[in-house]
């Protein structure tokens, strides 16, 4: 399963020297510990002041609404998610460029979270290999409690500050990598520990939360706040907060893959052809962009050993597979840059792709 970490760490607080990574970054970790001294187990501070924990006046009589009115209320309130993500656009753009730069130099992207936040990270990571043909280790979702927590709640594990760094270390997380620590309420010790560790070792630390910074500060280089407001079901952050988080992760991973050259126009030219649906999509991409028949597209795809990007380059340049691979290695990774270097072009104008999934 793609990048799912199991529980690590102990229930009690550790000194900086005892934490994963030793005394490296002691000042950063100590500063976080000082401001979040009670974030451990039963000593968690009161969270009633947090935006995500406040009651929504619009749903005060939720249990008395007619079903049609209840559904209408949810549909209307979900509009807040788009507004929240749009407000965070500058930080999302900064994160896309920063992550892409590190991945272009051999780094990896890790999502870290507990509960709904962690499951959303695992979901986005799992979608990258089939969509972009990326290696499973490139984007990893690290969930408190591991694979079992995908199906059965194990939120108690989020209270372990030390578990975040331990789970990252178990995956070889290092200074060249990127971490997106996801915590709707911003106070999850598991995530704060991971972000602190990332900062301490010089990795890129990105925080994603649904509360304002003046309510909770998080250790990070880039701070993404998705302010969706109080939930219709008080405190249930799988609702608007979860929706906004998924939208933001969609933007992050897709934007990064675009910057890494895995998209041409709006087509996923690195799609992994692993089933009939994706083979059909690949053949339509070849027909739309290269202007070839479905039969010729199938031949090109076979010659390119399933690589749509190489099949397109071969169609436009007339190169055989070995030469196309060499050209892509020299002038890629993007198809557009490789075509330009060879003086080749795709003859067809891209037609809108069907919206069918």
Residues with catalytic roles: 127, 158
Rounded to an integer, what distance in angstroms lies between the CA atom of residue 143 and that of residue 164?
9
Looking at residue 350, the DSSP 8-state letter turns out to be P
CA 114 to chain centre: 14
Rounded to an integer, what distance in angstroms lies between the CA atom of residue 208 and that of residue 227?
10
Tell me how far CA of residue 123 lies from CA of 89, 97, 137, 253, 310, in angstroms. 22, 22, 14, 11, 28
277: which residues sit within 8 A by CB, 6+ positions away? Answer: 357
Q: What is the dihedral of CA 149, 211, 159, 204, to 10 degrees?
A: 80
Three-state SS at 178 = strand
Three-state SS at 187 = coil
Rounded to an integer, what distance in angstroms lies between the CA atom of residue 178 and that of residue 199?
10
CB 89 within 8 A of CB 217: no
Torsions phi, psi for 179 (to 5 deg) = -125, 130
Three-state SS at 142 = strand
- Alpha helices by DSSP H, listed for the chain, are 26-35, 67-77, 79-87, 89-104, 115-132, 148-151, 163-170, 189-201, 240-259, 276-290, 294-303, 308-317, 321-331, 335-342
CB 40 within 8 A of CB 163: no
Looking at residue 56, the DSSP 8-state letter turns out to be P
Picking from 128, 118, 210, the residue whose alpha carbon sits closest to that of residue 167 is 118
């Amino acid at each position: 399963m793609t990048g799912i970490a199991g529980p690590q760490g102990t229930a009690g607080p550790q000194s900086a020297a005892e934490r994963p990574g030793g005394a490296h970054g002691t000042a950063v970790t100590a500063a976080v510990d000082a401001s979040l001294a009670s974030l451990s187990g039963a000593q968690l501070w009161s969270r009633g002041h947090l935006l995500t924990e406040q009651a929504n006046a619009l749903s005060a009589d939720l249990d008395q609404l007619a079903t049609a009115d209840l559904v209408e209320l949810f549909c209307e309130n979900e509009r807040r998610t788009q507004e929240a993500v749009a407000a965070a656009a500058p930080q999302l753009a900064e994160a896309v460029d920063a992550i892409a730069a590190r991945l272009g130099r051999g780094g990896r992207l890790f999502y870290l979270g507990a509960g709904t936040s962690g499951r959303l990270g695992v979901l986005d990571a799992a979608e990258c290999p089939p969509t972009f043909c990326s290696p499973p280790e490139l984007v990893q979702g690290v969930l408190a409690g591991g694979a079992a927590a995908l199906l059965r709640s194990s939120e108690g594990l989020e209270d372990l500050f030390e578990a975040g760094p331990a789970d990252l270390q178990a995956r070889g997380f290092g200074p060249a990598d990127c971490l997106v620590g996801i915590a709707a309420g911003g106070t999850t010790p598991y995530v704060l520990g991971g972000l602190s560790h990332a900062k301490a070792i010089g990795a890129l630390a990105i925080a994603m939360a649904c509360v304002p910074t003046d309510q909770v500060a998080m250790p990070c280089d880039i701070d993404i706040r998705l302010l969706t407001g109080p939930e219709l079901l008080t405190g249930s952050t799988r609702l608007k907060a979860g929706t906004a988080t998924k939208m933001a992760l969609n933007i992050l991973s897709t934007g990064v893959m675009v910057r890494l050259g895995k998209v041409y126009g709006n087509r996923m030219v690195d799609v992994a052809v692993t089933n009939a649906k994706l083979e059909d999509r690949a053949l339509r991409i070849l027909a739309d962009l290269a202007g070839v028949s479905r039969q010729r597209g199938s031949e090109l795809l076979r010659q390119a050993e399933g690589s749509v990007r190489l099949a397109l380059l071969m169609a436009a340049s007339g190169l055989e597979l070995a030469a196309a691979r060499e050209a892509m290695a020299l002038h890629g990774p993007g198809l557009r840059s490789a075509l330009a270097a060879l003086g080749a072009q795709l003859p067809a104008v891209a037609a809108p792709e069907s919206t069918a999934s």
